[in-house]
Amino acid sequence: MAIIGFIGLGIMGRPMAKNLIKAGHKLVVYDKFAKFDDLVSLGAEGAVSNKEVASKSEIIITMLPNSPQVKEAIIGVGGVIEGLKKGTIVVDMSSIAPEACREVGAVLAKKNAAFLDAPVSGGEPGAIDGTLSIMAGGDKAAFDTVKPILEKMGSPVILAGPLGAGNVVKLANQIIAAVNLAAVSEAFTLASKAGINPRTVFDAIKDGLAGSAIMNAKIPSILDGNFKPGFRLELHIKDLQNALDTAHDLGVPLLLTAQVMEIMQGLRVDGMATSDHSAIIKFYEKLAKVEVRKQKAVR
């Protein structure tokens, strides 16, 4: 069984790494900013640098905030590239700009290493439960090699196309999630302002055409006033910025995405950058002067 290097042990990466350990894989782990004693206690080997991870691994997974961090960890000074062995497969599971994927992949190709982008959807709950949706881009042979490993962290695991395709699919996912959250927020704020119990609204529409996975996941927490981050608002802002940049390069207008981005930016200025992205509803609540919170269901 191949030794797996895992770099980036935050809200998402830590439970993902734990699932690989539980599945019997040997891991070498490192995070520049976070301690990982808990993973070592589960059997992982701790490293002191990205370079050391690469020198001890045959497959390397990265799970980092954005394109600059991925570039630094993989092709920067002291990065994976300095300890890389010929034939290594590097899988970046972060959500970054498609163009950044292709840039990193081109550098690794000169070292005879394969690179896949394989961003995920499902947030912290999916990372913990091993139920992430994984969308990949890159060489099919490399993908087929790592697919059984990726399946320990989620399903479905889909090869979307060439390098960068995984992140294009992820950007599409994040656009839909953001616009959906805004629509849900508008609807529930309207109902609450009109005096309708939001719990009743949820029960009435969740199984109909307007129902969605994101509404089912987020409304119960909103009704409890719980905005603990499963997916931080600031990370969704990052994803939408990558979507807008990519769309501008391709000549594709993203009108709704741009509007939701401005809502999120307003919330960031109000100090909610580290709240869950469902905090979008607070933007509408503030304007409408109403709170969408839990009430007893009407019978």
Q: In terms of DSSP H, where are the helices of the chain?
A: 13-22, 37-41, 50-55, 67-75, 98-109, 123-129, 140-150, 165-193, 198-205, 213-223, 233-250, 255-269, 280-288
Going by the DSSP 8-state scheme, the letter that residue 228 receives in this structure is: -
Indicate if 217 and 255 belong to the same structural domain: yes
Is residue 293 in a domain? no
Q: What are the C-alpha distances in Å from 68 to residues 71, 73, 167?
A: 5, 9, 15
pLDDT above 90 covers what percent of the chain?
95
d(CA 185, CA 180): 8
Does 298 have pLDDT greater than 90? no
pLDDT tens for 267-293 read 999 999 999 999 999 999 999 999 999
Is residue 297 in a domain? no
pLDDT score for 145: 98
Question: Among all residues, which ones are annotated catalytic?
Answer: 170
Is residue 294 in a domain? no
pLDDT tens for 163-206 read 999 999 999 999 999 999 999 999 999 999 999 999 999 999 99
Indicate if 125 and 189 belong to the same structural domain: no
List the domain range (segments joined by +) for residue 272. Answer: 168-288
Indicate if 20 and 147 belong to the same structural domain: yes
pLDDT score for 95: 95
Contacts of 180 (CB under 8 A, 6+ apart): 212, 214, 215
The answer to whether the beta carbons of residues 127 and 120 sit under 8 Å apart is: yes
pLDDT score for 223: 97
Cis peptide, bond prior to residue 65, ω within 30 of zero: no
Task: Using pLDDT thresholds of 50, 70 and 90, give the confidence band for residue 23.
Answer: very high
pLDDT score for 211: 96
The answer to whether the beta carbons of residues 114 and 61 sit under 8 Å apart is: no
Indicate if 157 and 202 belong to the same structural domain: no
Task: Using pLDDT thresholds of 50, 70 and 90, give the confidence band for residue 296.
Answer: low
pLDDT tens for 236-266 read 999 999 999 999 999 999 999 999 999 999 9
Indicate if 94 and 123 belong to the same structural domain: yes
Does 299 have pLDDT greater than 80? no
Q: Domain boundary residue among 162, 195, 211? A: 162
| SS3 label, residue 215 | helix
φ/ψ of 29, rounded to 5, equals -120, 150
Does 130 have pLDDT greater than 70? yes
11, two tokens: 């809200």
